[in-house]
Structure 1
Amino acid sequence: MSGERTLQNQYRDTRVRRPEFSLNEAISWYVSDYASEVEASTLRSYGYRLHAFSGWLPEGQRTLASLEPETVERWLRTVANRHSRMNRTIALKSFARYLAERKVWYVGTDDARVSVLRGLRQAQPATRGTPAYKDEDVRTILRAIPETSTRLRTLAIIAVELHGFRSKEVRTMLLENIVFPTKADPVGHFIVDCRKRTKSEAGIRLVPMEAVARDAVTRYVRMERPAFTGEGEEPLFLTQQGAAFSGAGWDAMARRLREALKSEGVAFRQHRFRSTRAQQLHAAGVPDSSIIELLGWGIESGQRMLHRYVGRIPLSTLKRYPPLLDGIYGRSA
């Protein structure tokens, strides 16, 4: 036999521009391919919203052909909440970019592929930013924690979450990554050391520890924390049986606190501690670049996320900043 090819037809990539292709199968590709690139909780929320879009479509229209601006706009208008609409748009645009990159569904030419949703306008964050807790709200939450055998653990969790961590970061935080203050370093810090979890290019994030968290964590570790009964890396926060928390177990703990706070008029959401921290840091004059680093946002998304959490800065606040030109021209009369 000669070494020549014997195929009768030239290979053709059948994944390219197939409007009849199953939307649900394309979503499965997206979730699978991005599993190692996107934070798991973020990817789950994207997948949930994409499947919600597919489920909204009539059964016979659940194909890539339906992923186009007019149909997507109609689906987005089914929710009035600006935040919900923004999250839907973010998920759909990410999915559409993925399809264009993979040559599955796009506009333009093969050499200049463009997302089919490139022109889709994304709802902007509310002027006041993402809802955050007021100081009195936090005090109410702390007072509402029941006097149980796990009270110190709950107080420590809230003190740590108030540093702006994602709830999953707190759930999976390792005991060995809590660096308590010493004489040489009077300010301790937290270490979050997984790139997939932190979205940090360096794969590590160091966050200074405030005294209230130091005291709350110390009390929990010394007075209430059980011995670790699991295997492998040891988390800071443990169940009463000494095991690591599962995602479901952590959520159940949060639901119990939410129920306890209903009568207090405070809507308990763990993620709201994150926006609370962002707004606190911004109001204290911490540079934007430092806030982005502390909260673990990516380089490209950092400014967008900060604007989303903090909102627009009112003119009254901008006018309180010190003048900068007096040093050049001299103070005006």
Structure 2
Amino acid sequence: MTDPEPEQQRTAVLPLGALLPSDSPRVAGEDPLHVQALARLDAPLPPIVVHRETLRVVDGMHRLRAARLRGDERIAVRFFDGSAEDAFVHAVRVNTRHGLPLTQADRTAAAERIIRSHPHWSDRLIASATGLAASTVAALRRRATGQAPQVKARTGRDGRVRPVNPAEGRRRAGALIAAKPQASLREIADGAGIAVGTARDVRLRIRQGQDPVPKKLRDAESRMQETEICAQPAPAPVVAAAAEPAASVTVSTDPPLKKLCKDPSLRFTEDGRALLQLLSAHTLGGTRWRRLLDAVPAHRRAMVAQAARYCGESWLRFAIELERRAV
């Protein structure tokens, strides 16, 4: 999806005092020498772009300051309709195409901000708006992990939505090929949300008896899943499953749980991931155990103990049923 230009068929004239300063992508602000050069022009200044909802300048702060410098009271404007976040993207985009160029620092800061405001945009789409290389945007996104919302799919420059994890698309393609062996590569690609070339590779791998997902992608997926489930701090549990007195309990990280976190048969299914997250949430280290005990107010200790015992009994029934099925 390309970022659309604002509608610019109609030009309005507004008082300078009605306009708010730009949410500028320029880290150091406007260049005074450029403002003076514009102020000396005899020709009318080109219209500036203004966010219709807020009357904040989107593009044209140098022209606005030049108009003030030469004593103008009004200026021609064209309106941008959209969110403040999209207005900022437009400001970055137009300033990479004409006028005083953005510096490398400006474009880098802009890309970091767009990664946070438009996490569903692909690296190439953000790169096209900021004038950076897609590889640079990818590196910035990796550094921003935890600050930007995590998404499962991103929109590319062509408007197509593709999964962040390419292995998922390949598996969908494999399922489509199994269900409709005579389907064309275009049908498979459209149905799985992948490129035609990728669909061709998946079909070839299946015909050769290979996994539709190459080992390189499987390894990358495994590392990503392990990070999501095992490396991130587990959410604080509501209660702890314990049936013994607190003084006699010593809880440590369970080695079997570490092994389970690496098992793809659990990591790669929704219910399996949910189970691992629940197990991680209820596995407490000694220090954390003590902190939770201290957090319970005196008047709620008996009730929390009952809730903990109930949870413990639920997990015990779960374990007994698993053991019965394992026989």
Could you say which TM-score interval applies, normalised by the shorter chain?
A: under 0.3
Report which structure shows greater RCO (CA 8 Å, sep ≥6): 1
The TM-score normalised by the length of structure 2 is: 0.24
The TM-score normalised by the length of structure 1 is: 0.24
